[in-house]
């Protein structure tokens, strides 16, 4: 028995819910997600905000120029222009759904961030933008009778009929395999941070969407471009959870500095802007210290009097680790944060597989090029998701599925202790060799080890998805022979900065 819909959306973050809500007035929609709708995935963790050129003197053209500058001109210029022009409409749509953005004197408050040349970042609840966005999207979903939810359901495989995607095979909350069929399948499964042993991303961001699409015949692009955030709160020893709380860059903007365990302020020597250098420069400098055996700390003591009011999330995260940031140093490590690459799609979010679409962090529209401009990722997920949903709704219901090829049996086993062990080894390998500093030798060694792990896994093991994506990422790194954007290929002379294989770095 299979349920039939007009549209299946896999993922309930900003991207998935935008597609589903925009399509739901005309189509029967199923939304499938790993946890509680909207509350799983990265969206509800987003802090900073959503970029849109709506301020006085600003323009979509300037927003596009900043995006292309950050992306080192490797961006798809048409996608960037379309995104920047769509942004004001996305904000109006969110307001119409009930999202409460922060306002000052009755006008939308606009913050200025990183390499944006104008104040154009809209936020909600200060640094709780993602939580408010998800609240508004969930409330809107609750008003849609045409939408069915499949929560705590893991999609294992895209079902096909010949060349065309016609549904998904998934494991539901009871552990049963189920088939859900539709002529349109949208993947919105988020990022890949969980392939690394330190990440800002939640457990759902484990790259499974890239594997699903690639195994169904879709192409990947720009997989080598992973953005690392320089400062996440260092893990508690022995805690295997790779997700770490982010420490916002705004705190360095306010005057906090980085020190190593000898009290040395190493950023002053690394870049003329010291702690305010670009994100990737700071991340590399922190990595360099850690890989030389130093611990790295953020010193926020000069801000002691204003910390609680200005950075409440940081204070709370520190307290959970028994750190009082007013009088103590805060231990930090860099963390995998955002994936610019993913499943290659056209401007209509279509992969090369008919009927299969990808949106949000999973997709590579080419908007970000070699590096993401801050606050463009929620915008991309919302803009491309909304446009895709509207297009599918306009097309209207399509004939039901009458033919499905037998599944290939990818990832159909229940997760085992062995999957967990292999994943832990993979994370360390990715961190050491496919992380902030990469070398040709390290990448070749990683490729070999991943291939060995793949051969040793039982067919149908869920971890094969992570191994596949990791291998594709290493292969993409090896093809990109120069350092650009977030891909930093160290020369042999710099190899001393890399930890030995298998050595934990934090």
Q: Which residues bind ligand FAD (CB under 6 A)?
A: 10-16, 32-35, 40-43, 45-50, 129-130, 154-155, 188-190, 200-201, 204-205, 208-209, 246, 338, 360-362, 375-378, 381
Taking the least distance from each CB to ligand FAD, the nearer of 88 and 293 is 88
Taking the least distance from each CB to ligand FAD, the nearer of 24 and 490 is 24
Residue with the shortest CB distance to ligand FAD: 13
Name residue, tokens 């934090």: 506
CA dihedral 45, 46, 47, 52 (to 10 degrees): -160
Closest distance of CB 306 from ligand FAD, Å: 21
The number of CA neighbours under 13 Å toward the Cβ of 492 is 1
Taking the least distance from each CB to ligand FAD, the nearer of 229 and 438 is 229
Taking the least distance from each CB to ligand FAD, the nearer of 167 and 360 is 360
Q: Which of 145, 216, 225 is nearest to 187 (CA)?
A: 216
b/e map 28-62, b = 16+ CB within 10 Å: bbbbbbbeebbbbbbbbbbbbbbbbbbbeebebeb
Is residue 301 packed enough to be buried (19+ CB in 10 Å), middle (13-18) or exposed (0-12)? Answer: middle
Beta pairing partners, 177: 171
**C-beta separation of 373 from 71 below 8 A:** yes
Taking the least distance from each CB to ligand FAD, the nearer of 446 and 473 is 473
The angle at the Cα of 419, spanning 438 to 212, to the nearest 5 degrees, equals 75
H or E segment at 158?
Answer: strand 154-161
Closest distance of CB 298 from ligand FAD, Å: 16
Point out the residues that are catalytic: 279
Closest distance of CB 229 from ligand FAD, Å: 8
**Whole-number Å distance between alpha carbons of 241 and 229:** 17
**Whole-number Å distance between alpha carbons of 85 and 90:** 10
Closest distance of CB 436 from ligand FAD, Å: 17
Beta pairing partners, 451: none
Closest distance of CB 155 from ligand FAD, Å: 4
């Amino acid at each position: 028995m299979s349920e039939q819909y007009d549209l299946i959306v896999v993922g309930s973050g900003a991207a998935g819910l935008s597609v589903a809500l925009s399509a739901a007035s005309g189509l029967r929609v199923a939304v499938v997600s790993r946890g509680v709708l909207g509350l799983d995935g990265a969206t509800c963790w987003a802090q900073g905000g959503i970029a849109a050129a709506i301020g006085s003197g600003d323009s979509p053209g300037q927003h596009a120029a900043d995006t292309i500058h950050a992306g080192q001109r490797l961006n798809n210029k048409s996608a960037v222009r379309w995104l920047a022009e769509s942004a004001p409409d996305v904000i109006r749509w969110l307001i119409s759904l009930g999202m409460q953005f922060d306002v000052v004197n009755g006008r939308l408050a606009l913050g200025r961030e990183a390499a944006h040349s104008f104040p154009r970042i809209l936020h909600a609840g200060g640094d709780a933008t993602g939580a408010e966005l998800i609240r508004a999207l969930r409330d809107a979903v609750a008003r849609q009778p045409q939408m069915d939810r499949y929560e705590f359901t893991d999609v294992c495989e895209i079902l096909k009929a010949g060349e065309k995607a016609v549904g998904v095979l998934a494991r539901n909350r009871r552990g049963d395999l189920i088939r859900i069929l539709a002529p349109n399948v949208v993947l919105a499964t988020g990022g890949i941070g969980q392939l690394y042993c330190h990440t800002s991303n939640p457990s759902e961001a484990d790259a499974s969407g890239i594997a699903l699409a690639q195994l169904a015949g879709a192409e990947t692009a720009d997989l080598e471009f992973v953005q690392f955030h320089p400062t996440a709160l260092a893990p508690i020893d022995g805690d295997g959870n790779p997700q770490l709380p982010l420490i916002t860059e705004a705190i360095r903007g306010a005057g906090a500095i980085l020190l190593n365990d000898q009290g040395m302020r190493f950023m002053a020597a690394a870049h003329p802007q010291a702690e305010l250098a670009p994100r990737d420069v700071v991340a590399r400098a922190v990595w360099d210290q850690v890989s030389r055996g130093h611990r790295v700390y953020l010193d926020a003591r000069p801000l002691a009097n204003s910390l609680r009011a200005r950075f409440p999330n940081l204070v709370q995260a520190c307290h959970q680790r028994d750190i009082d940031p007013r009088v103590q140093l805060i231990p930090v490590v860099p963390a995998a944060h955002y994936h610019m690459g993913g499943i290659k799609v056209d401007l209509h979010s279509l992969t090369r597989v008919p009927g299969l679409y990808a949106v949000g962090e999973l997709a590579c529209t080419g908007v970000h090029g070699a590096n993401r401009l801050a606050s463009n990722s929620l915008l991309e997920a919302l803009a491309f998701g909304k446009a895709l949903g509207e297009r599918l709704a306009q097309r209207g219901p399509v004939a039901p599925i009458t033919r499905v090829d037998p599944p290939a049996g990818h990832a159909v086993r229940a997760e085992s202790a062995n999957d967990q062990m292999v994943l832990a080894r993979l994370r360390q390998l990715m961190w050491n060799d496919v992380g902030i500093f990469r070398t040709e030798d390290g990448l070749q060694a990683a490729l070999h080890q991943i291939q060995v792990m793949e051969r040793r896994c039982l067919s149908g093991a869920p971890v094969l998805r992570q191994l596949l994506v990791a291998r594709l990422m290493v292969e993409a790194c090896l093809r990109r022979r120069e350092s650009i954007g977030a891909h930093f290929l160290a020369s042999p002379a710099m190899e001393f900065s890399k930890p030995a294989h298998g050595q934990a770095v934090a």
